[in-house]
Structures are given as structure tokens and as C-alpha cells.
Amino acid sequence: MAYATPRAATQGRCIYYGTVLHFLRDPGTQQDPAAWQLFDPGALVVGADGRVEWVGPEGEVPPELGDGTPVDHRGKLIVPGFVDAHLHASQVDVIASYGEQLLQWLEKYVFPAEKAFVDIDHSRIISGLFLDTLLASGTTTATVHPTVHKASVDAFFEEAENRSMRMLSGKVLMDREPYAPPDLKDPSVEQAEADTRELIGRWHQKGRLTYSITPRFAPSSTESLLQMVGRVYQEMPDLWLQTHAAENTEEVDTVKELFGGRSYIDVYDRYGMLGNRSLYAHSIYIDDQDRTRLSQSGSTIAFCPTSNLFLGSGLFNLDAARAAGVRVGLGTDIGGGTSYSMLATLNEAYKVLALQQQKLSAMRGFYLATLGGAEALYFEDRIGNFQTGKEADFVVLDWAATPVLKRRTEVSADFQERLFALMTLGDERAVRATYVLGQERYSNTNQIAVPPR
């Protein structure tokens, strides 16, 4: 297992051979076969600029593209790089922390850990570990919460830039005690805005990096802070916005006490925070009126099943959100979530929906982890599938990563059954290689040990 030194961009065109799957739209609950393309065996042609030049059946590579260097992943599955719609780089050290629900968990575990990010060296070490772990899990794009410290933002973006990864992030904003501890709060709204504008100027749209204005959540924000957030977001039409909403019943009650209003989503709407490129993690305790408003405004939701289960928060209603036309991505929500792996997250998503008498097919699951995530972040014009001209971020998955997965694959009746087994039994061990802009950034060449008969 190794984090690969990328091949030089001057090496030219490459042709990646394997089973290739990507999506054109949401397959929905009825399994629309026109929503995906499956090439088995297939080929993916990537140019020297790291963009997709062609995808299709192995034997039909256009002659003018046939001079590429062959890379053999036959017997493996090639899919677009996974997109994580919500997680925290600052919570690496608190994953798997015992016994609390959201507000108590923040106070007991998260806030003490986040204080260390005032130090740039600590921020760099953790950011590097965090990003390498994403690559090892097949994730190539994510929208990430750091901390209130400018150092945490600078370190994160520096490390992401070094790896050429498409990443969104922004300084966490919070100024209301006790939901923002005294040593983790912005000293004033004016200083919060000044710091945010400074960081936007330094990092926004630099290469593959994007700035997302990041109020932690409504309880840790005064009305003045949310007014500032909405104003800056509306002022800069190419800016992103990310926060949390309606994750936990106690949190929802707190928002009602602090702000009044019809609903949690309505509070954000009041301050001009809804719109294209605004993302609301969790959004469990919302109603049809909220979903309609999110859809109409172009706002999106990050579905975070492992976190919602681990913290006892509740069950997200995917079918209702999609029926209302809301864009939905999948989030690991590290460290409330318990795995960096999108495959493990899909496994838990299936169970969350099953408890609500809903179904998550493998096709829809992989859509959510790839193109669905890209759509939730408004990056579908750049990543998420293998259409010509897209940035060639992709992951190679091993059907035989573990003995159990290998055996289940061997007895599967068809491709969709195999894919569902991978979605249910797979995790980071199934990631054979991860490519960013056509360059190998992670490689796992370990083979499973098969005992002799």
C-alpha cells in the first residue's frame, strides 16, 4: 500500500482497461437503465491534461486515441472518484468517541480537539493524514469543515493543493456561547468577516480549490453573524456555503428557542443563506415545506448515515428529498461518522432507508457517491462521470478485496448483484488505486491470502 508519486503530466495519453461504470443522471427508485453506462469490458481514455477523452467498450477505442499507454485494470471496476458531501478535517482524532448525542458530543470531544488547530504545524499534519486517508478510501472531492482558526484553513488548502485534489473548505464561523466555547469563538462579527474575506482572496478558485463560507450551525451563531454570512454569500455569486441543519431534536428545539420562526430551514432562509451552492448537512427533521423551499432555492442536502446512527440523531428521508427535487449528496461526516469509506457509508445508508420501508439499489447508491455528490456541490460540469472533457478523477475497485466479498461476487447472478455485494461488504480494502486528474495518487497492491484446499 502506498501513496503514489504521480506520473508526469507530460507522459501523454493513457488508456485504462477494466469494467467501467458511470452515471448520466439519478437512476431513481425504478432503476432507469438509461441513467448509467456500463462497459464490461471497457476502456477509459485520459489525455495528458488529466481530462477524459473517451469512454466505451474495450474493443472500440477510436484509432486516433489508440496510441495511449495501456494501464491494465481488467477484472476490476473503474468508477468516478467518490465525492464526500460533508466531513470535518478537524475531527480526525475524535472518531469513535463514546456515549454522547450531538450537543454533548461537541462539548465533550470535538471542541477540545479543535483547539489544537491554532497551531499551523498540527493543522498540516492532520490535514495531510486526513487527505491521504480520503485517497485511500477512493474519495477525490469533498467539502470539508476545518476550525475557526485561519491556520486550519491555510494548512488544509496547502495540503489539498499539493495533491491536486478538488476540495471545498472555509473558516468555521461561530460567536454565540455556550454553543461556541470562549476560546473557539470569533471575537466579533467584523473580525469574522475580515478573516473570511482574507481567506477567500487567498484560496477561492485557486486551481481546484473552492472557498465555502462555513457557519458551524445556527445555535453557535448570533443573528448578526448569520446576517453577515448571508450578505457575503449573496455578494459573491461564485461563493459556496456549508453548514448543518436539523440534525438532532434537541438542536432543533434550541434553534426554536433562540430564533423562533417556522422551522430550522426557515431561520437560514431569513438571513439569505439559501441558494445555489449552499449545502445543509443532515436535514433530518424537516418537512415538505422545507424540502420545497430547498428545492426552489437550489440548496442541497448531505445525507450522513453513519453519523446519524452513531450519534442517535435519526433517519434521513431520501425518497422525500429527491421527490421534492432536492439535490442530495452522501457524506461520511467524520468524526461523527465512523468510516471514511463511501462503500461503508452506502452500506449504512441502505439500512437507514430500509428502516423507513425505502430501498437503495446499488445503482442509485453509486450514483449518490459519484455524480449525485458532484451535483450536490454544483460540480457536475467538471467531475462525477466520464463524459468527454471532465476531470479524470477515478477509483479502481477490487471485487475480491476480502475472501467474503470474493466468494459473494463469484456466486452473484449478474452485475447488479455483484455491485450490491460490493456496496454492502466493501470498504477501503476494496480500493485498489485512486487517480486524480489521471495520475495515480494511491495504490494498494496487497492481495488477499487464499488458504489452500
Check which CATH number belongs to the domain holding 157 and give it.
3.20.20.140
Q: Are residues 184 and 318 in the same domain?
A: yes
Q: Are residues 119 and 224 in the same domain?
A: yes
Q: Are residues 56 and 130 in the same domain?
A: no
Q: Are residues 104 and 237 in the same domain?
A: yes
In a domain, residue 280? The reply is: yes
Q: Are residues 404 and 310 in the same domain?
A: no
Q: Are residues 25 and 131 in the same domain?
A: no
In a domain, residue 367? The reply is: no
**Longest alpha-carbon distance in the chain:** 70
pLDDT value of position 452 = 39
Q: Are residues 335 and 399 in the same domain?
A: no
Q: Report if pTM > 0.75.
A: yes
**Rounded to the nearest 5°, which phi and psi values hold at 402?**
-130, 160
**Number of compact structural domains in the chain:** 2
d(CA 379, CA 408): 35
Check which CATH number belongs to the domain holding 39 and give it.
2.30.40.10
Q: Which is nearest to 284 in space by CA: 320, 259, 260?
A: 320
Of 340, 358, 377, which residue sits at a domain end? 340
What is the DSSP track for 366-426? HHIIIIIHHHHTT-TTTSSS--TTSB--EEEE-TTSSHHHHHHHHT-SSHHHHHHHHHHH-
What are the C-alpha distances in Å from 344 to residues 36, 61, 165, 424?
Answer: 22, 34, 22, 7
In a domain, residue 292? The reply is: yes
pLDDT value of position 7 = 43
What lies within 8 Å, CB to CB, of 70 at 6+ separation is: 14, 15, 17
Domain hosting 156: range is 82-340
In a domain, residue 294? The reply is: yes
Q: Are residues 61 and 107 in the same domain?
A: no
What are the tens digits of pLDDT across the range 213-259? 999 999 999 999 999 999 999 999 999 999 999 999 999 999 999 99
C-beta separation of 112 from 55 below 8 A: no
Q: Which residue has the cell 480537539?
A: 113
99: its cell numbers: 456515549
Q: Are residues 184 and 161 in the same domain?
A: yes
pLDDT value of position 9 = 39
Q: Are residues 422 and 327 in the same domain?
A: no
In a domain, residue 353? The reply is: no
C-beta separation of 441 from 3 below 8 A: yes
What lies within 8 Å, CB to CB, of 174 at 6+ separation is: 148, 180, 184, 185, 186, 215, 216, 220, 221, 225
Which residues in the chain land under pLDDT 50? 1, 4-10, 447-453
Q: Are residues 206 and 99 in the same domain?
A: yes
d(CA 318, CA 372): 12
d(CA 6, CA 54): 21
Q: Are residues 87 and 72 in the same domain?
A: no
d(CA 323, CA 334): 28
Of 306, 340, 374, which residue sits at a domain end? 340
pLDDT value of position 103 = 87
In a domain, residue 163? The reply is: yes
In a domain, residue 385? The reply is: no
In a domain, residue 451? The reply is: no
pLDDT value of position 2 = 57
Neighbour-count burial of 138, counting CB atoms closer than 10 A to its CB (0-12 exposed, 13-18 middle, 19+ buried): buried
pLDDT value of position 448 = 43
